[in-house]
Amino acid sequence: MSTFDAVELIRTKRDGGRLTDEAIDWLIRAYTDGQVRDEQMSAMAMAIFFRGLDGAELSRWTNAMIATGERMDFSSLSRPTVDKHSTGGVGDKITLPLAPLVAACGAAVPQLSGRGLGHTGGTLDKLEAIPGWRASLSNAEMLAQLESVGAVICAAGSGLAPADKKLYALRDVTATVESIPMISASIMSKKIAEGTSSLVLDVKTGAGAFMKTFADSLALAETMVGIGTAAGVNTVALITDMEAPLGRSAGNGLEVAESVDVLAGGGPADVVELTVALAREMLACAGIDTDPAEVLASGRAMDTWHAMIRAQGGDPDAPLPVARHTEDVVAPADGYLVGMDAMAVGLSAWRLGAGRAAQGDPVQAAAGVTWHAGLGDRVRAGQPLFTLHTDTPERMERGLAALTDAVTIADAPVERRPLVLERISAG
């Protein structure tokens, strides 16, 4: 006979009450094992969305999710471990140059990544544009690669916080993804179970982010830093701008190409800036006194990229896929580009085939959007602003439609807000 009743726990949270440690442990385990039904956990997720979880509840909820699976152990490595997690945004390819850069500076980067859903891209989808590259590694393969190369980007194994995988799928179809406690528990349960010693969080804010306002992004950052610190993981968060998309491309293979440009010493200035800023935070957490900007300029990070891709079966020198169909969108007037809607760009890339509507849908490696001017640039009427890429021309019309009114052109330039808006730490 069950110790608790799901309906009673739902009612407790619905009415603003607090869940006991024992109740949370039972609920998470029972849901993972199938004793609590999806419709019941959906009701609980909505109750939490409106009523929240206090600090103690959230810590227990996170630990209960961790306890449904295994914990990885990187203590045998000769390098200190540090990981990065981004809450996701349009054109956010930062993991790709960042992991090899931090590894080239002497840390081990166990970057367990995910796939895209909706308007935000997934790191694994991007890397699968590289011929031969594989996302799934055993724990033994991960450890060996971290020791020899220093960086691994791969899929999280099914043994890490299985409760989260089940609960996330439910949240995605019940309009509860934006719940700050549940976002926090989802991210941090996997990262703590992963076993990294330090963690740097990139919390996006703005039109292209899940958190649209700075206040919500700050609340999320503070919550996750608190969870990580309580679990003994050295955790820092940067709140970064996602009002406009990052870089000059959104799409899987397109973003890989842009990341390689960054590693080669070029690439868009905002991608370079954020990569270096996050690298500095990660190296500080790991206790490594090395300037990542110098390492990036030296080419050592590119060497690590090649080694990382080859270790997972990929050919870093192989040509990336090229879309069979392209179409340009031109500037409607002379002036300065002062606004670019990140959500609109992400939606266009998604409609062109770069993203998926449901888990498991295929994605096009070559699909996406590139833009030829950045914020503050002078543009001329008729000048190409965007190029849309797809292998399926029937998608082009809806991809173009998403970019209607996506840019703002003015007579004078305006200063873009800083890329890094705030730093959050436990200290």
For the segment 238-255, what is each residue's pLDDT rounded down to a tens digit? 999 999 999 999 999 999
Q: What is the distance between the terminal CA atoms of the chain, rounded to a whole angstrom?
A: 46
Q: Nearest to residue 202, comparing CAs of 82, 83, 86?
A: 86
CATH label of the domain that carries residue 10: 1.20.970.10
Is 152 a member of any domain? yes
Indicate whether 396 and 294 sit together in one domain.
no
Residues forming the active site: 85, 164, 171, 186, 190
Is 205 a member of any domain? yes
Range of the domain at 174: 82-317
- Pair of tokens at residue 217: 């992004």
Between CA 272 and CA 10 the distance in angstroms is 47
Indicate whether 343 and 375 sit together in one domain.
yes
For the segment 337-355, what is each residue's pLDDT rounded down to a tens digit? 999 999 999 999 999 999 8
Is 67 a member of any domain? no
pLDDT value, residue 50: 97
Domain boundary among 267, 283, 317: 317
CATH label of the domain that carries residue 286: 3.40.1030.10
Between CA 354 and CA 366 the distance in angstroms is 7
Indicate whether 115 and 99 sit together in one domain.
yes
For the segment 270-310, what is each residue's pLDDT rounded down to a tens digit? 999 999 999 999 999 999 999 999 999 999 999 999 999 99
Which residues of the chain are modeled with pLDDT < 70? 1, 117-119, 359
Indicate whether 157 and 253 sit together in one domain.
yes
What separation in angstroms does the CA of 37 have from each of 47, 54, 108, 397? 16, 24, 40, 41
Is 417 a member of any domain? no
Instruction: Give the residues across from 249 on adjacent strands.
Output: 370
What separation in angstroms does the CA of 354 have from each of 178, 251, 298, 345, 407? 23, 5, 33, 11, 21
pLDDT value, residue 181: 94
The contacts of residue 206 (CB under 8 Å, 6+ apart) are 89, 212, 241, 242, 243, 244, 342
Indicate whether 342 and 222 sit together in one domain.
no
Indicate whether 295 and 329 sit together in one domain.
no
Q: Are 227 and 322 in contact (CB under 8 A)?
A: no
CATH label of the domain that carries residue 385: 3.90.1170.30
Is 400 a member of any domain? yes
Is 123 a member of any domain? yes
Indicate whether 172 and 154 sit together in one domain.
yes
Indicate whether 108 and 241 sit together in one domain.
yes
pLDDT value, residue 337: 96
CA angle 273, 279, 284 (to 5 degrees): 130
What's the domain count of the chain?
3
CA angle 221, 223, 225 (to 5 degrees): 65
Is 197 a member of any domain? yes
Burial class (CB in 10 A: 0-12, 13-18, 19+), 418: exposed
Q: Nearest to residue 242, comparing CAs of 94, 130, 38?
A: 94
Is 420 a member of any domain? no
pLDDT value, residue 426: 86
Instruction: Give the residues across from 326 on adjacent strands.
Output: 389
Indicate whether 208 and 243 sit together in one domain.
yes
Residue with tokens 């029972």: 30
Indicate whether 234 and 291 sit together in one domain.
yes
pLDDT value, residue 118: 64
pTM exceeds 0.85: yes
Burial class (CB in 10 A: 0-12, 13-18, 19+), 348: buried
Indicate whether 267 and 122 sit together in one domain.
yes
Indicate whether 152 and 300 sit together in one domain.
yes
